[in-house]
């Protein structure tokens, strides 16, 4: 692409920052990447990518000449006018977003009429206004502010950057908003240009809606279990209605990750702090917490007491194609299993390194086969593609028991049953019949 594209700064080189930086480098922008983590920056300078994200390593390697890594924010201030902020905003104990990293960045900004902060981090509605107020009070009123929330999904983040469903730009209608719109223009995505508060709310409301969809289908799954319906069939039938759509209707053992749990909690808190009780979100959160624990009752139904039982966990990351363990269902599950006296052996194709930092007392296996050996029960926690290839004849031979709990309704239910194993999905009866495909009536 042309060399005339505007150089930009990206502050924070985590999942969002590094993908944003590499994505803009792909579009032809020179990118100054800043992080306070010296080890991370040193690694990046030597070409080491700190996270597991498909396609990212190649993209960074390809655009090495356009990507500059430093711990010194002056480097970005000197070479760029637009500073994308992609620092973490983790939850506090109250559920409010912890904005200390955002404030550290704001505090580090000098008085300037030629710079703008472009907020990619997910922040409560009103954050932009309070940052603008802080700038004004400190004689830095010339500093511009743009809200540009990020919607990428870990596991497909590079593709999501390059092919976004939409770009949302919330600003005051000045040069900075125009410049951000211009930066994204090669992507040819639908643009929502709006005020800062609305842009901030688009992000929180989108994640809260998706989380609501998941908790809704999980509750339907639980009712399916009581009534003999199959949630897979139900979701298929619902999803063909284009007012509903098929996405985020996969029942399972709850949502996790670095965004949904914290953003739902943050929106609930934001509403509460503003005097509004967001009743629906309370239920979304509660259903999700209970859903993570449902595996326990399924195991106990077959095995009785779990004391001394060998349980194999397949997958630990909060979803496939990432090594992110933040708020993963496996954290709750492994702790509950151990509290109930079970011995837990776990395998994840890429998340073991991250998992070791957060999970205690679990034995880590180097392969699915190793995790399964001698197990009384298997629990599929993360639907990594490689688990679809398990040979259940071999699995049945290797196990001591016969129970397979499919926490993501991902495994071949009939294949499991044909190997003489007991299949327990989420919201599904045991394998007894082959459902008629919808396709015969005109198809999906
Ligand atoms: N991860 C996602 O899928 C995703 C998607 C959309 C939005 N978001 C939002 O984007 C933001 C970043 O998320 P993430 O997952 O990339 O976080 P992350 O924890 O992976 O990365 C944050 C980075 O910021 C750095 N940092 C912290 N304080 C800093 C400072 N003062 N100066 C420079 N660097 C600093 C950290 O060292 C870290 O490398 C969050 O607000 C998150 O909610 C995340």
To test the pocket of ligand 1, the residue of 18, 21, 35 to mutate (highest count of ligand atoms within 8 Å of its CB) is: 35
Q: Whose CA is nearest to atom 41 of ligand 1?
A: 121
Ligand 1 close to Cβ of residue 39 (< 6 A): no
19 lines ligand 1 (CB under 6 A): no
pLDDT of the chain, 444 residues: tens digit per residue: 445 899 999 999 999 999 999 999 999 999 999 999 999 999 999 999 999 999 999 999 999 999 999 999 999 999 999 999 999 999 998 888 999 999 999 999 999 999 999 999 999 999 999 999 999 999 999 999 999 999 999 999 999 999 999 999 999 999 999 999 999 999 999 999 999 999 999 999 999 999 999 999 999 999 999 999 999 999 999 999 999 999 999 999 999 998 999 999 999 999 999 999 999 999 999 999 999 999 999 999 999 999 999 999 999 999 999 999 999 999 999 999 999 999 999 999 999 999 999 999 999 999 999 999 999 999 999 999 999 999 999 999 999 999 999 999 999 999 999 999 999 999 998 764 444 444 444 433
Q: Is the CB of 13 under 6 A from ligand 1?
A: yes
Asked whether the whole model's pTM tops 0.95, one would answer no
Contact 392, 380 (CB under 8 A): no
Q: Is 345 left (phi over 0), alpha (psi -120 to 50) or beta?
A: beta
Separation of 12 CA from ligand 1 center, angstroms? 6
Q: Whose alpha carbon is nearest atom 7 of ligand 1?
A: 150
Q: Where are the beta strands (DSSP E) in 381-420?
A: 403-406
Say whether 259 is catalytic: yes
Pocket test for ligand 1, best of 258, 261, 319 (most atoms within 8 A of CB): 258
14: CA distance to ligand 1 center in Å? 5
The finding on whether 160 has its CB within 6 A of some atom of ligand 1 is no
- Which residue's entry shows tokens 């008629």? 436
From CA 202, how far away is CA 220, in angstroms rounded?
27
The pLDDT, as a whole number, for residue 95 is 84
Strands of 96-183, DSSP E: 116-119, 144-147, 167-170
State residue 192 phi and psi, 5-degree precision: -110, 100
Is 124 a pocket residue for ligand 1 (Cβ < 6 Å)?
no
C-alpha distances in Å from residue 172, one per residue of 106, 110, 131: 18, 20, 13
Distance between Cα 262 and ligand 1 center (Å): 13
pLDDT recorded at residue 431: 67
20 lines ligand 1 (CB under 6 A): no
């Amino acid at each position: 692409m042309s060399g005339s594209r505007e150089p930009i700064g990206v502050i924070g080189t985590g999942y969002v920052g590094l993908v944003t930086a590499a994505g803009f480098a792909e579009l032809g922008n020179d990118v100054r990447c800043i992080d306070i983590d010296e080890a991370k920056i040193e690694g990046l300078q030597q070409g080491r990518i700190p996270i597991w994200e498909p396609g990212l390593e190649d993209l960074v390697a390809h655009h090495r000449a356009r990507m500059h890594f430093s711990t010194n924010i002056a480097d970005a201030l000197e070479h760029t006018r637009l500073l994308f902020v992609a620092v973490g905003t983790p939850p506090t104990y109250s559920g409010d977003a912890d904005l200390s990293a955002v404030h550290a960045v704001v505090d580090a900004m000098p008085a300037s009429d030629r710079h703008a902060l472009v907020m990619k981090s997910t922040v409560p509605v009103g954050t932009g206004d309070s940052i603008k107020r802080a700038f004004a009070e400190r004689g830095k009123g010339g500093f511009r502010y743009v809200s540009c929330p990020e919607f990428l999904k870990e596991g497909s983040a590079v593709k999501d950057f390059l092919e976004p469903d939409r770009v949302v730009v919330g600003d005051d209608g000045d040069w900075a908003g125009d410049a951000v719109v211009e930066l994204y223009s090669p992507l040819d995505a639908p643009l929502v240009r709006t005020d800062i508060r609305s842009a901030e709310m688009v992000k929180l409301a989108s994640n809260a809606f998706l989380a609501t969809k998941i908790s809704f289908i999980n509750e339907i799954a639980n009712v399916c279990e009581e009534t003999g319906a199959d949630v897979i069939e139900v979701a298929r039938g619902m999803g063909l209605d284009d007012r509903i759509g098929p996405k985020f209707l996969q029942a399972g053992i709850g949502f996790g990750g670095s965004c949904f749990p914290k953003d739902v909690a943050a929106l609930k808190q934001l509403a509460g702090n503003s005097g509004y009780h967001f009743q629906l979100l309370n239920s979304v959160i509660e259903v999700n917490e209970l859903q993570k624990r449902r595996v326990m009752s399924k195991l106990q139904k077959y095995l009785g007491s779990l004391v001394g039982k060998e349980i194999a966990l397949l997958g630990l990351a909060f979803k496939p194609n990432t090594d992110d363990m933040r708020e993963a269902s496996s954290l709750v599950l492994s702790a509950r299993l151990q509290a109930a006296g079970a011995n837990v052996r776990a395998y994840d194709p890429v998340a073991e390194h991250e998992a070791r930092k957060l999970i205690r007392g679990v034995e880590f296996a180097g392969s699915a086969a190793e995790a399964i050996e001698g197990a009384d029960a298997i629990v599929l926690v993360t639907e990594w593609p490689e688990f679809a290839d398990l040979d259940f004849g071999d699995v049945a031979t290797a196990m001591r028991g016969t129970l397979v709990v499919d926490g993501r309704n991902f495994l071949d239910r009939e294949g499991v049953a044909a190997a003489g194993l007991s299949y327990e999905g989420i919201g599904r009866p045991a394998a007894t019949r082959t459902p008629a495909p919808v396709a015969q009536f005109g198809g999906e």
